[in-house]
Structure 1
Amino acid sequence: MSDAGFPKGALLTNLREVGRKCSYLRMPWDFWVIFFALGVLLPWRGRARMKKLLAMPHVSLMERLVLYASTVAFQWLAVALVGWRLWARGYTAQQLGITFRDRTTLLIAGIVGAAVIATLQWLNLRRVSRIPPESRGPLQAIAERILPQSAVEMPPYFALAITAGLCEEFLYRGFAMAAFAQVGMSAWLAVLVSSILFGLAHSYQGRGGIVMTFVVGLALGASRLAYNSVVPAIFWHSAIDIVAGVAGRRYLKQSATLQAVFLGSR
């Protein structure tokens, strides 16, 4: 595997070295099963659940809380199963990017990056709030059903957002990139393919959601290479989801108010 054209500082040394030494190995059967689940079953499950939610005229508070709890449980179960197979295959924490060698650097990168990303996410959602609800496409309907709409829902939603940051980064930037490197894939190609899988996992958000999540995945994957750790990506990912819940609640309330005024004037 050649490193020509890649900046040395941005390469994940562990992934590069493993790729060189193990390019002759074939993907284990259980990893193929996991990738089938990530690339096919998970997107299908997400679309099926969203189709069911969109068919409902209204999603109650309790139904959203159940949705949050079931998603948290599902993600931790997925991490447990994947972690079990990684342990059985002899993968190390370093290969998976679960490292804390330079804690100060990782924390600064995680916190500063999360603050920047959270600000951009907030500004983007504020921009969306200025668009008439009927012109937002599926975004409005999806947001109304899965984002918190009351203070009671915020703590469970925060738990979900942090869970997504931890579990999805372990699956896509930890497991996937390490598994791809193990069969000789270059570091940046591993970022690309894992980002495609990450985008497909969010296909319930529509084409726009797939593209945006893919782009976010590229940034998260690049951080994995730059810091040789998934820690900054966990901070960044969690920040995106947390802001979506907080800012989303604000513009959803605005939409609900406008709708009430419209109905009251009829």
Structure 2
Amino acid sequence: MHLEPHHHVGRRARHARCHREVRSRGALRVSRLKDLPPGVARVLWLGATLFWAVQLSLYLLGGLSLLDTILLATLLIAIPALAIAQVPLAQEALIERLPAYWSSIATLWVLGTISWLVGTRTEGLAAIGLTLLPPVPFIAWTLGLTAAGLGIIVVFRQVALGLRVRESPLLRSLLPRTAEERGVFAILSLAAGVGEEVAYRGYAIPVLIPVVGSVGALLLTSAVFGVLHVYQGTLGIFRTAVMGATLAGGFLLSGSLLPAIIAHTAIDLLAGILIADKLLLPLNSHGVGGVDETLQES
């Protein structure tokens, strides 16, 4: 009987301690949000401002529908801003490749699906370039775009070696090293080939052409495509921008997005799994030297 009051006192004390701990953890979370690197916070604020500015401009001046302006502003401003903001945070974190792959796969499929649904809502699959070509042109465009993409990587590698530019360590850390990682990376390559091509070529270019013209749409989407790969460093931004322009040119000239989708997937598979050590710059001093051993794990 006499233990009952002490028992309640003990419970009140424990509740008080728990309450203080919860408040402490909450304050810690708020503190962490406030302690975002200044550059990251500025990028997010600028991205939010530009998002609404671009969305309203496209709606009021470009004559586009509200749905198209929101999706375009998301593709052209919001997603690149998030990509830029993530880089300094990722550089300070331990990269876990498999979770990164799966989260990227989910994001790309969602992005591609939304672009697919919005882009085809009035004119069907032809509106985003999902049309068949005769066999010979289809094979020619697919092989040509794949070869051109790999050639771009080789050219940038040689130029970078001459300029003594180093490959991004973050890019190297994200490349697959085990059999399981290579399997998931193959799925990621397919998701990127479909999702990015549908969103940034099949959807964005036709919608932007009435506003900025064919050349303007090609240049704008390719520049944004380069910024999306900011984790690859300055070299990677220009490399992927040129590759994006090549794929966009193939889409516009052939009239079909399918060769670009297959070429994009093949380039990612080849450059990320099979011949990464031969296409990318080595990590040692000034980007000159032998093969990076981290890619040789089984």
Unaligned runs of 5+ in 1: 1-23, 258-266
Q: Are 1:166 and 2:174 an aligned pair?
A: no
Q: CA 1:195–1:144 in structure 2 vs 1: closer, same or farther (change >3 Å)?
A: closer
- Partner Cα separation in structure 1 for residue 277 and residue 89 of structure 2: 22
Larger RCO: Structure 1 or Structure 2 (Cα < 8 Å, ≥ 6 residues apart)? 1
Which 5+ residue runs of structure 2 have no aligned equivalent?
Answer: 1-60, 284-289
2:118 aligns with one of 85, 91, 95: 85
Q: Report what 1:209 is aligned to.
A: 236
Partner of 2:130: 98
Say whether residues 1:46 and 2:83 are aligned partners: yes
Contact 1:125 1:244 in 2 (8 A): no
Amino acid at match of 2:66: W
Answer with 1 or 2: which has the greater Rg.
Answer: 2
| Deviation at residue 108 of structure 1 after TM alignment | 2.9
Measured after TM superposition, the shift of residue 123 of structure 1 is 7.6
Equivalence for 2:68: 31
For residues 142-153 of structure 1, the aligned pairs below 5 Å read 142-153=170-181
Cα shift at 1:120: 5.7
1:156 & 1:115 partners in 2: Cα distance? 24
Match status 1:235 vs 2:267: no
SS of structure 1 residue aligned to 2:130: coil
Q: Distance in 2 between matches of 1:126 and 1:33?
A: 40
Whole-angstrom CA distance in 1 between matches of 2:145 and 2:119: 29
CA contact (8 A) 1:43 1:201 kept: yes
Whole-Å separation in 2 of the counterparts to 1:126 and 1:68: 29
Deviations 1:177-225 (A, max 9, x none): 11113x3542222212221222222233333322222211221111112
Percent same amino acid among aligned pairs?
Answer: 24
Q: 2:121 matched to 1:121? A: no
Q: Equivalent residues in 2 for 1:13-24 (5 A)?
A: none
SS in 1 for 2:292: helix
How far apart, in 2, do the equivalents of 1:196 and 1:113 lie? 18
Q: Do the aligned partners of residues 136 and 101 (structure 1) sit closer, same or farther apart at CA in structure 2, a change above 3 Å counting? A: closer
The one-letter code of the counterpart of 1:55 is E
Deviations 1:19-45 (A, max 9, x none): xxxxx9711122221122122221222
Instruction: State the alpha-carbon separation in 1 of the partners of residues 107 and 233 from structure 2.
Output: 22
Cα displacement (A) at 1:107:
2.5
Amino acid at match of 2:177: Q
Contact 2:129/2:251 (CA < 8 Å) preserved in 1? yes
Q: Shift of residue 255 of structure 1?
A: 3.0
Deviation at residue 87 of structure 1 after TM alignment: 3.8
Instruction: Find the aligned partners of 1:153 and 1:127 in 2 and give their Cα distance.
Output: 30
Task: State how far apart, in whole Å, the 1-side matches of 2:130 and 2:141 are.
Answer: 15
Match of 1:85, as an amino acid? V
**CA–CA separation in structure 1 for the residues paired with 2:145 and 2:187:** 20
Kindly report which structure 2 residues correspond to 1:244-255, keeping only aligned pairs within 5 A, or say none.
Answer: 244-246=271-273, 247-248=275-276, 254-255=291-292
CA distance in 1, matches of 2:152, 2:246: 14
Partners of 2:85 and 2:62 lie apart in 1 by 36
User: Which residue of 208, 213, 228 maps to 1:180?
Assistant: 208
Distance 2:76 2:159 in 1: 32
Residues 1:99 and 1:204: Cα distance change in structure 2 (over 3 Å)? same
**CA 1:32–1:185 in 2, change beyond 3 Å: closer, same or farther?**
same
* Counterpart position of 2:107: 74
Q: Compared with structure 1, are the counterparts of its residues 212 and 218 closer, same or farther at alpha carbon in structure 2 (3 Å cutoff)? A: same
Aligned to 2:20: none
